[in-house]
């Protein structure tokens, strides 16, 4: 690790480094206020890290569920700046787990790399995940992130092969393992070779290793806990929220809606 001019809060805020649950939500879907409430509900349901999505017009790594959530959020006027501004509100609401901003590269470039990491720090975020900046293109962003105490989360995939070592060795925060080739979205079955892939990743990684893409059932969660330090769940969370959307949007049924979100998530991650 290089000398930090600003210390990272990621490790301090992280409740545990085993059996982690890392949910993804889309900022502004269905509304900015509910994003804050949902963040709190997820923490109360057992989340260890929150992945906060910035909606993007052309999300190359995402399947239909997250694409549609992004489209709804853009429709609501959500932007990268507004998403960052939700974070202090979440902290006020009692969210104390690490928050990682998930955004595609183009909004980062328009915002400015250094401005972004400064703003993240100022607004009490802990990490940044940019799915379309592979290792080879990440140097500049990584330097800015390190200088401002923001953990840049790396991704590694089953076909990364000899890149696994290089990616894992420089990983910070946690290492995001893509479960199988393809885009985000629920999958009926997990890749049968996943255990050997994860074993290899764990061998080289000095940070916790979490698996994501397609995890949508309790069986899959349990299976992944055997091989990794945690699970990342995106599309399934979006679906659960979608299912409760009408309850969430009405003042008098909101609490019940949030309660049912919590129940479904508890069932999903229970082991």
Residues marked active site are found at: 51, 62
Q: Shortest Cβ distance from residue 151 to other proteins (Å)?
A: 17
Residue 12 or 57 with smaller CB distance to other proteins = 57
> Binding residues for other proteins, per CB under 8 A?
56-58, 60-61, 63-64, 67, 71, 74, 79-81, 104-111, 131-137, 155-157, 159-161, 163, 167, 178, 181-183
The runs of H, that is alpha helices, within 76-162 are 80-93, 105-111, 113-122, 139-147
* CA separation, residue 52 to residues 113, 129, 150, 226 (Å): 18, 9, 14, 26
Task: Please list, residue by residue across 129-147, b when 16 or more beta carbons sit within 10 angstroms of its beta carbon and e when fewer do.
Answer: bbbbbebeebeebbebbbb
As measured in angstroms, the least distance from the Cβ of 197 to other proteins is 12
Q: Which is nearer to other proteins, 161 or 251 (CB)?
A: 161
Q: In sequence order, what are the beta bridge partners of 232?
A: 22
Residue whose entry in the numeric block shows the structure tokens 């349901």: 45
DSSP helix/strand/coil, 101: strand
Instruction: Give one DSSP letter per residue of 188-240, joined into a string.
Output: SS--TTHHHHHHHHHHH-SS-EEEESS--SHHHHHHHHHHSSEEEE-HHHHHH
Q: How far is CA 168 from the centre of its chain?
A: 18
Least Å from the CB of residue 62 to other proteins: 8
Residue placing its CB nearer to other proteins in the complex, 166 or 262 = 166
Task: Quote the least distance from Cβ 50 to other proteins, whole Å.
Answer: 21
CA 118, chain centre distance (Å): 19
Minimum CB separation from other proteins for residue 161, in Å? 7
Q: For other proteins, which is the closer residue by CB, 185 or 208? A: 185
> To the nearest whole angstrom, how small is the minimum distance from the Cβ of residue 74 to other proteins?
7
CA nearest 154: which of 126, 224, 185, 169? 169
Measured from the CB atom, is 119 or 244 closer to other proteins? Answer: 119
185 vs 230 by CB, closer to other proteins: 185
If we measure between CA atoms, which residue out of 202, 208, 249, 254 comes closest to residue 232?
Answer: 208
3-state secondary structure of 136: helix
């Amino acid at each position: 690790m290089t000398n930090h001019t600003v210390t990272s809060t990621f490790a301090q805020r992280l409740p545990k480094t085993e059996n982690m649950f890392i949910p993804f939500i889309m900022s502004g879907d269905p509304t900015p206020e509910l994003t804050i409430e949902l963040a709190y509900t997820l923490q109360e349901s057992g989340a260890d890290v929150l992945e906060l999505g910035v909606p993007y017009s052309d999300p190359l790594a995402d399947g239909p569920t997250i694409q549609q959530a992004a489209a709804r959020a853009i429709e609501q006027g959500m932007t990268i700046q507004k998403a960052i501004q939700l974070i202090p509100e979440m902290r006020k609401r009692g969210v104390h787990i690490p928050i990682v901003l998930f955004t595609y590269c183009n909004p980062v470039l328009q915002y400015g790399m250094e401005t972004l990491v400064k703003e993240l720090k100022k607004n009490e975020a802990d990490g940044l995940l940019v799915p379309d900046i592979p290792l080879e293109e990440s140097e500049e962003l990584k330097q800015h992130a390190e200088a401002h105490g923001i953990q840049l989360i790396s991704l590694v995939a089953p076909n990364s092969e000899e890149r696994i070592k290089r990616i894992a060795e420089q990983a910070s925060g946690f290492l995001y393992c893509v479960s199988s080739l393809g885009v985000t979205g629920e999958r009926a079955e997990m890749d049968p070779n996943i255990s050997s892939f994860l074993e290899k990743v764990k061998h080289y990684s000095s940070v916790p290793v979490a698996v994501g893409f397609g995890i949508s059932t309790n069986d899959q969660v349990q299976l992944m806990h055997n091989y990794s330090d945690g699970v990342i769940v995106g599309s399934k969370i979006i679906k659960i929220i979608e299912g409760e959307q009408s309850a969430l949007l009405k003042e008098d049924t909101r609490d019940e809606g949030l309660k049912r979100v919590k129940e479904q998530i508890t069932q999903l991650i229970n082991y």
